[in-house]
């Protein structure tokens, strides 16, 4: 377990993290996301014991740290995985993983599980970035930490490698059965591999929830925009129904029960049809995404909504199109701004 309550951290007179509360069960992965400078790395450093905390408490069961009760990093049983791998260049893969380890059988387990068996005798310089990160993770887990902190572990890797490695890291953490806090800049990574996602802004948690809840029912517009493409369309909200100029859908009030509202639309909530007799918008831009295209459509009321269509649908800026809401799940509804 890893439990953090009322955690605040100051640099001099500047409070950079305020009132963080989170409890992680064994086996649980928390993804921390937020814009640059919001305090993600500061939280990791405080959990690792590298910087003092100003208020609150960190409790791992075996130890407890407060502003007046310091626990040095080496007494915290914390495993850390960094973006730059931090391997010893003069040691082999096996020596890196077994460094200062008494039980090398455990190292063996992680070497095999993380696909490093054929690389035991190699030096880090001869490995790819993904392999280096596997070595770093194997080394961390071989020491059987009580919790793991990952600081942007995939940010130095190319896109194709990232996708596979993120799942391998998740699976390894689950197998190890340790709580983990994973900092990332990548919203997609946060939503796909986290059990829970914490969205930070200016050192304050804006939402701490399941990925699904954070994405479909954001606590506020900042979270909605931060986690993906988000459009807001004016509407009326009564009896759980949101009525807008492009359709009616079930709604759930986030900060209101009824009245004039803005309805959150994700690109998948909006259907785009071409060649319909009654267009209601004009395509402003189109982004090709490979298997799909993301299209922004300006409605007559000047609202911009985005819709995702198959790559087979050829849409161009300037096209007149018809957009409508197609969803059966409740849309997040906010008091009109």
| Interacting residue ranges for ligand ATP, rule: CB under 6 A | 11, 16, 34, 36-42
How far apart (Å, rounded) are the C-alpha atoms in residues 164 and 159? Answer: 9
Work out how close the CB of 32 gets to ligand ATP at its nearest, in angstroms, rounded to a whole number.
8
Between 34 and 247, CB nearer to ligand ATP: 34
Between 181 and 323, CB nearer to ligand ATP: 181
Work out how close the CB of 35 gets to ligand ATP at its nearest, in angstroms, rounded to a whole number.
7
Work out how close the CB of 86 gets to ligand ATP at its nearest, in angstroms, rounded to a whole number.
16
How far apart (Å, rounded) are the C-alpha atoms in residues 252 and 289? Answer: 30
Work out how close the CB of 47 gets to ligand ATP at its nearest, in angstroms, rounded to a whole number.
12
Q: Give the other-Cβ count within 10 Å of 255's Cβ.
A: 11
- 245, 258 Cβ separation under 8 angstroms: no
Between 83 and 220, CB nearer to ligand ATP: 83
Between 41 and 77, CB nearer to ligand ATP: 41
Between 50 and 284, CB nearer to ligand ATP: 50
First to last CA, the chain: 41
Between 29 and 38, CB nearer to ligand ATP: 38
Work out how close the CB of 38 gets to ligand ATP at its nearest, in angstroms, rounded to a whole number.
4
How far apart (Å, rounded) are the C-alpha atoms in residues 209 and 166? Answer: 20
How far apart (Å, rounded) are the C-alpha atoms in residues 256 and 335? Answer: 6
Between 16 and 24, CB nearer to ligand ATP: 16
Burial 268-292 (b: 16+ CB within 10 A, else e): ebbbbeeeeeebbbebeebeeeeeb
Work out how close the CB of 107 gets to ligand ATP at its nearest, in angstroms, rounded to a whole number.
31
Q: Give the other-Cβ count within 10 Å of 239's Cβ.
A: 7
In what helix (H) or strand (E) does residue 190 lie, and over which residues does it extend? helix 187-193
Work out how close the CB of 16 gets to ligand ATP at its nearest, in angstroms, rounded to a whole number.
4
Work out how close the CB of 7 gets to ligand ATP at its nearest, in angstroms, rounded to a whole number.
13
Q: What's the CA angle centered on 269, arms 266 and 270, to 5 degrees?
A: 100
* Residue 51 φ/ψ, nearest 5 degrees: -135, 150
Q: Which long-range contacts link 293-301 to residues 24+ away (Cβ below 8 Å)?
A: 294/229, 294/267, 295/321, 297/270, 297/272, 297/321, 297/323, 299/233, 299/245, 299/246, 299/323, 300/245, 301/234, 301/245
**What 3-state class would DSSP assign to 33?**
strand
Between 41 and 66, CB nearer to ligand ATP: 41
């Amino acid at each position: 377990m890893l439990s953090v309550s009322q955690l605040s951290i100051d640099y001099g007179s500047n409070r950079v993290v305020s009132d963080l509360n989170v409890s992680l069960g064994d086996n649980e992965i928390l993804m921390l996301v937020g814009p640059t400078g919001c305090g993600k790395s500061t939280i990791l450093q405080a959990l690792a014991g590298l910087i003092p905390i100003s208020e609150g408490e960190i409790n791992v069961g075996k130890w407890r740290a407060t502003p007046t009760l310091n626990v040095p990093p080496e007494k915290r049983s914390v495993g850390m995985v960094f973006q730059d791998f931090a391997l010893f260049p003069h040691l082999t893969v096996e020596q890196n993983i077994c460094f200062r380890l008494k039980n090398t059988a455990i190292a063996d387990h992680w070497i095999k599980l993380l696909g490093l068996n054929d690389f035991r005798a190699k030096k880090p310089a001869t490995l790819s970035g993904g392999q280096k990160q596997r070595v770093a993770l194997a080394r961390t887990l071989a020491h059987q930490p009580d919790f793991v902190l990952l600081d942007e572990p995939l940010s130095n890797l190319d896109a194709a490698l990232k996708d596979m490695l993120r799942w391998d890291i998740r699976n390894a953490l689950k197998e190890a059965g340790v709580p983990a806090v994973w900092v990332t800049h990548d919203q997609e990574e946060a939503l796909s591999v986290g059990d829970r996602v914490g969205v930070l802004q200016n050192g304050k948690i804006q939402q701490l929830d399941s990925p699904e809840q954070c994405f479909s029912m954001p606590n506020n517009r900042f979270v909605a925009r931060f986690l993906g493409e988000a459009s807001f369309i004016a509407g009326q909200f009564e009896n759980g129904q949101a009525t807008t100029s492009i359709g009616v859908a079930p709604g759930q009030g986030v900060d209101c029960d009824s009245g004039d509202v803005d309805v959150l639309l994700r690109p998948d909530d909006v259907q785009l049809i071409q060649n319909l007799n009654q267009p209601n918008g004009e395509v402003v831009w189109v982004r090709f995404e490979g298997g799909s295209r993301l299209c922004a459509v300006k409605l007559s009321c000047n609202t911009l909504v985005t819709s995702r269509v198959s790559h087979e649908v050829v849409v161009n800026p300037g096209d007149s199109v018809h957009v409508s809401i197609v969803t059966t799940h409740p849309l997040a509804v906010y008091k009109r701004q």
